[in-house]
Structure 1
Amino acid sequence: MNRDCCGALDQLLPMHAVLDDQGIILHVGPTLTKVFGDTSVVGQSVFDVVAFSRPKGISGAADLPKVLGRKLRLEAKGAVETRLTGVLARGDKNIYILDTSFGFAVAQSVTEHRLVSTDFSPTDLTVEMLFVIEAKSAAMSASRQLNQRLQAARIAAEEQAFTDTLTGLKNRRALDVVLERLRDQEFALIYLDLDYFKAVNDTHGHAAGDAVLQAVAKILVSNVRRNDTVARIGGDEFVIVCPGMIRQDALGRLARKMIDEIEVPIPFGDISAKISSSIGIVSHKGGEVSSMESLSEMADAALYAAKNAGRGQAVFAT
């Protein structure tokens, strides 16, 4: 083929190759040259640089007439193996023209071979298709980011709905969920109420009271296990749920330790707030109580028994 003809083919079919009747490559389009790693394959057999995977049985020049006009599945053996779709046509004087394209692998191939829009024919829809792929990818990315933000906002809203804003502990709503989940399991329910807290509030103001509540919350959290739940359900009322912990000796030690630490004066500005706490404890062995409400009433009754007994102590429900 003359130079003018090859130039026209390069512009119209930049991914073509011209073969003679023995399958020897006479010319390669500029984009297909990039696919071969910018290595010249002119003079080589097409079967040395391209594998014919479909139709099967195409292994030599004698097989080329069998696939004229048929859709071909090929694999270019360049620096990066690239799957291609192709069609073979007969040219003048025992010459074949093999035109190829990337097919569905176009996006990956464009990246691997660093191709740009000028590597494709002006009438090739590849550039438009790449734009659609890129736009779809961008839309999907934006959608994923939006979903992630919505999910994070939902989680934050749920967390806020179950959290006491002053202390960061769980609130009554969260406590109800925990108790319902543990209905058929063993756990201990600990009610704790602060002693002499009203005097701190009345004498030193609400800011001092808030600081005391926050300090007590830290004491309680530091004394329980990771799977325990600590909640603030009222002004100076706290509840602790301890799954699987029902032995009185262990619960008694935990209660005594919390009382002792709470009785250590809590600094606030120039003053030290002195308080104590009373505790009521009930153990639940699973299925014993008809409702979580009655279990809570038992713990509350034990709490007030502790207050009536002199405060600063723990009482087990009977």
Structure 2
Amino acid sequence: MFLWLDERACILGVGRTLRKVLGVPEAQIVGAPFSRFFSVARRGGAVRMCPKELRSSCGAVDCDRQIGRCGRSLGAMTAEEMLHVTLRMRPQVSLRGALVSHAGPPIQGGAPTQAGGDMLLNFSFGIHLRELVAEFDLTEHDFSAADLAMEMLYLQEAKSLVLEELRALTGRLDQARKAAEDQALSDPLTKLANRRAMAQALARAVDHATNGLANFALLQVDLDHFKTINDTQGHAAGDFVLQLVARNLCESVRGGDLVARMGGDEFLVLLRGNPSRAEIGTLAARIIEQLKAPKWYRGQECLVSGSLGAVSSRDYENLEIEALQNDVDRATYAAKTAGRGCLRFGSGPVENVEDEPATSPGAAR
């Protein structure tokens, strides 16, 4: 990666690896001016101009005064610890190196007092070593034994392997965390949201409604005669019925609604989007009909029905989660005392629970 220059900044010799990078035969490189293949730049690519000390005494005609156009301007760089250049044929490739003057007078003020002797430039790829080695298809034989490029590549490869393993580990940890969160917020039997998940969703819904963003409704479903199934047909039959009810509820509600199993044979549905009483009644009628449909487990019919209670957030001046849950419980209890298999609305004291049956199951979803 060396470049040998004379006092005019013409190339006298070029290293094998640098020649490979330039991509042209050695005969076209030797004798050519430095500026044909390289441009001196600051970090960021800004072109550097000759120092004032050189420009004031320069007699060159039609010169753009860029460092590297002549030997004197390039020699002015020997006082710097590091030289940065870009390839003219590939401006995206940046090299860094050290410039050493073989002969010539001492440097004063960063510039030689007169034309110096030969100069030697020794380049490296810097921080872009890995990318450029791959781009130019370089191998270990393209670097000298004293060059630390291979060691740097090995370190970068080791770093990449470690980072890849860390990313894989992070991915596995994220999956495990998500699985743990899903497990903590879901009912293991029905795969519905559990009491904790409903509490979180209900808290957000109350916050939105309180701030005037969106109203909602709560629909509670309590199975009738479920204990009889457990007692006469066994808990396996009861579990089957709960799973079937869960599937029916999910198929009945809209996509944005949340169905949760609160425990035992009690389910709670958070109806978002400010549904009207008529819409709640239509949904309840469909659920009631599905619950009454025959359910068979191992040749035995499992008969259940559902008592439903509902409350709407728009009926409350001061929304409180506890009040909502108490009122929907009262409404569900009112449905049971009214004969089961029906819907009752409620908000506030129990005497305000309305004796309003569900609408026809044939209404639109």
Task: Name the TM-score, length of structure 1 as normaliser.
Answer: 0.87
Aligned-residue sequence identity (percent) comes to 40
Tell me the equivalent position of 1:60. 69
Q: Structure 1 CA distance, aligned partners of 2:84 and 2:134?
A: 21
Q: Structure 2 CA distance, aligned partners of 1:274 and 1:134?
A: 67
Tell me the equivalent position of 1:8. none
Q: Structure 1 CA distance, aligned partners of 2:133 and 2:335?
A: 77
Pick aligned residue for 2:328 from 299, 302, 312 = 299
Report the alpha carbon displacement of residue 137 of structure 1 after superposing the two structures with TM: 2.9
Q: Which amino acid counterpart does residue 209 of structure 1 have in structure 2?
A: G
Report the alpha carbon displacement of residue 287 of structure 1 after superposing the two structures with TM: 5.9
Mapped pair 1:44 → 2:32:
yes
Between 63-72 and 307-316, report the one with greater CA deviation: 63-72
Is residue 35–residue 82 contact of structure 1 (8 Å, CA) maintained in 2?
Answer: no
Q: Which amino acid counterpart does residue 194 of structure 1 have in structure 2?
A: L
Q: Which amino acid counterpart does residue 93 of structure 2 have in structure 1?
A: T
Aligned length: 304
Between 201-210 and 173-182, report the one with greater CA deviation: 201-210
**1:56-108 Cα shifts (integer Å, max 9, x gaps):** 32142242332235332111235684201123333479533221111222222
Report the alpha carbon displacement of residue 251 of structure 1 after superposing the two structures with TM: 0.5
Tell me the equivalent position of 1:75. 86
Q: Which amino acid counterpart does residue 94 of structure 2 have in structure 1?
A: R
Q: Structure 1 CA distance, aligned partners of 2:186 and 2:227?
A: 23
Q: Structure 2 CA distance, aligned partners of 1:138 and 1:286?
A: 60
Tell me the equivalent position of 1:308. 337
Q: Structure 2 CA distance, aligned partners of 1:38 and 1:115?
A: 15
Tell me the equivalent position of 1:88. 99
For the residue of structure 2 that corresponds to 1:182, the secondary structure is: helix
Task: Name the TM-score, length of structure 2 as normaliser.
Answer: 0.76
Is residue 100–residue 120 contact of structure 2 (8 Å, CA) maintained in 1?
Answer: yes
Unpaired segments ≥5 residues, structure 2: 43-47, 50-65, 104-115, 210-214, 347-352, 354-365
Please give the residue correspondences for 1:94-173 in structure 2 after superposition, counting only pairs within 5 Å.
94-173=117-196
Q: Structure 1 CA distance, aligned partners of 2:130 and 2:288?
A: 67
Between 57-66 and 91-100, report the one with greater CA deviation: 91-100
Tell me the equivalent position of 1:200. 229
Pick aligned residue for 1:189 from 210, 218, 238 = 218
Report the alpha carbon displacement of residue 133 of structure 1 after superposing the two structures with TM: 2.6
Unpaired segments ≥5 residues, structure 1: 1-14
Is residue 35–residue 78 contact of structure 1 (8 Å, CA) maintained in 2?
Answer: no
**1:199-232 Cα shifts (integer Å, max 9, x gaps):** 2223322222111111111111111122211010
Is residue 69–residue 87 contact of structure 1 (8 Å, CA) maintained in 2?
Answer: no
Tell me the equivalent position of 2:2. 16
Q: Which amino acid counterpart does residue 270 of structure 2 have in structure 1?
A: V
Q: Structure 2 CA distance, aligned partners of 1:315 and 1:104?
A: 73
Report the alpha carbon displacement of residue 237 of structure 1 after superposing the two structures with TM: 0.7
Report the alpha carbon displacement of residue 194 of structure 1 after superposing the two structures with TM: 1.1
Mapped pair 1:28 → 2:14:
yes
For the residue of structure 2 that corresponds to 1:288, the secondary structure is: coil
CA distance 1:130–1:50, shift in 2 (3 Å): same
Q: Structure 2 CA distance, aligned partners of 1:136 and 1:241?
A: 50
Report the alpha carbon displacement of residue 307 of structure 1 after superposing the two structures with TM: 1.2
